[in-house]
Amino acid sequence: MQEENKSLLIIQRRITEYRVPFFEQLRQRLSEYNIILTIGSGNPNEDEKLRHDNMNLSWGIQIPCNYYRMNGFQVVWQKIPLHIYKKQDLIIMPHENSMLFNYYLLLKRRFNQIKLAFWGHGGNFQSQSRGYREKIKSWTTRQVDWWFAYTSLSVERIIKNGFPEDRITYVNNSIDTNKLIEWHNGITLDELKALQRALGLEGSNVGVFIGSLHAQKRLDFLFAAASELRRRLRNYELIIIGDGDLRGKVKDFIKEHTWARWTGALHDREKVLHMALGKVILNPGLVGLNILDSFALGIPMITTDCGIHSPEIAYLESGRNGIMTSDNLGDYVTAVEELLKNDQKREQMASACIEDSRKYTLEKMVENFTHGILQALQHEPLRK
């Protein structure tokens, strides 16, 4: 007798490019267990539109987002239609204070009308305060039936906020590193030389920054570090890959520094090709999933202990697969300079990066997520 189908809804405020392969693979994997996956996604806000990374799924459903400002804080209203959420056996939603419809769903759960799970960081890793926003986040942590935590650091936060450990799935957040490796392996020396000429770079000591251009990336620190590196190493050059609301600041910098280049947002093989020119990745601010670009391409990342990293910083083993310095410009520049001058050390780190790219794969994330979904569906709801 065939097992009855189960219905699962994952809510996303928006879908970024890197999430598409995950949802495609997860949908296929869940179908093997007769679980029908629906992705309900919305649209980016004005700043996010500048990043040029928003995507849609042909089989997903569009649930528009309306953005508002309240006391300087952005909130979003993304109303899930009743006929969609009512038929779900499990709803997984982002753990975001700003998503107002979350609170409505939490209320429905209290009346035993739906089963809910959160997917997220487990807290705001960019906030050091214990203000009302963090208190809300701490409270909502405990108001669901299951948790899908990004990394081990997320698990620690969730447990600390009082949620039972045996209802947490540790997913090891990832991207399609295998595709990155495939593209990287297919790049020829002639291609690299042609790109180097097109960019007008010498190419012997190139640092790469990749990420969205926003305040938490600490671009002023990056620019100061790059300028000092150029003073110490006359052949040092910088490639900046990404876009965002601080693009004007980047344009001003490259206009004044002829050894720096800005490519805008790049994707897929084009992104990998440009990154392959670099010997190191410079990211003194927030580190998130871009650490997996570093691992997959074997280009060590240097960051700082700035206190605002996303949970994926758990993957960094400083001195082995990358470097985290103190939050000091001099220490940071010295670490980058020494790594650029020490080919043996850099090659050892590159090997460790590639080794760890096999540990944090999209396929493993899909398996972790699938296992957690099966458990969440089998368990009774938590007592309210």
Q: pLDDT for 139-150, tens place per residue?
A: 999 999 999 999
Tell me how far apart the alpha carbons of residues 20 and 341 are, in angstroms, rounded to a whole number: 39
pLDDT tens per residue across span 22-55? 999 999 999 999 999 999 999 999 989 988 899 9
Q: Give the CATH superfamily of 6-174+362-378.
A: Glycogen Phosphorylase B; (3.40.50.2000)
Given this model, what pLDDT does residue 73 score?
87
How much is the mean pLDDT over the chain?
Answer: 94
Residue 220, classified by CB atoms within 10 Å of its CB into exposed (0-12), middle (13-18) or buried (19+), is middle
User: Cβ atoms within 10 A of the Cβ of 244, count?
Assistant: 21
- State the average pLDDT over residues 294-314: 96
Given this model, what pLDDT does residue 1 score?
42
Q: Which residues contact 14 (CB under 8 A, 6 or more apart)?
A: 41, 42, 43, 44, 48, 54, 65
pLDDT at 134 over 90: no
Tell me how far apart the alpha carbons of residues 269 and 275 are, in angstroms, rounded to a whole number: 10
- State the average pLDDT over residues 61-81: 93
Given this model, what pLDDT does residue 206 score?
97
Tell me how far apart the alpha carbons of residues 58 and 197 are, in angstroms, rounded to a whole number: 39
Lowest mean pLDDT among 61-65, 129-133, 241-245: 129-133
pLDDT at 131 over 80: no
Top CATH class, 177-357: alpha beta
Q: What is the CA radius of gyration of the chain?
A: 22
Given this model, what pLDDT does residue 128 score?
57
Query: Which pLDDT band, with edges at 50, 70 and 90, does 123 fall under?
Result: confident
Amino acid at the residue 295: F
User: Where exactly does CATH 3.40.50.2000 map onto the chain?
Assistant: 6-174+362-378, 177-357
Given this model, what pLDDT does residue 2 score?
54
Residue with tokens 């992705």: 39
pLDDT tens per residue across span 280-295? 999 999 999 999 999 9
Tell me the whole-structure pTM to 2 decimals: 0.92
Amino acid at the residue 269: R
Higher confidence at residue 186 or residue 204? 186
- State the average pLDDT over residues 147-155: 95
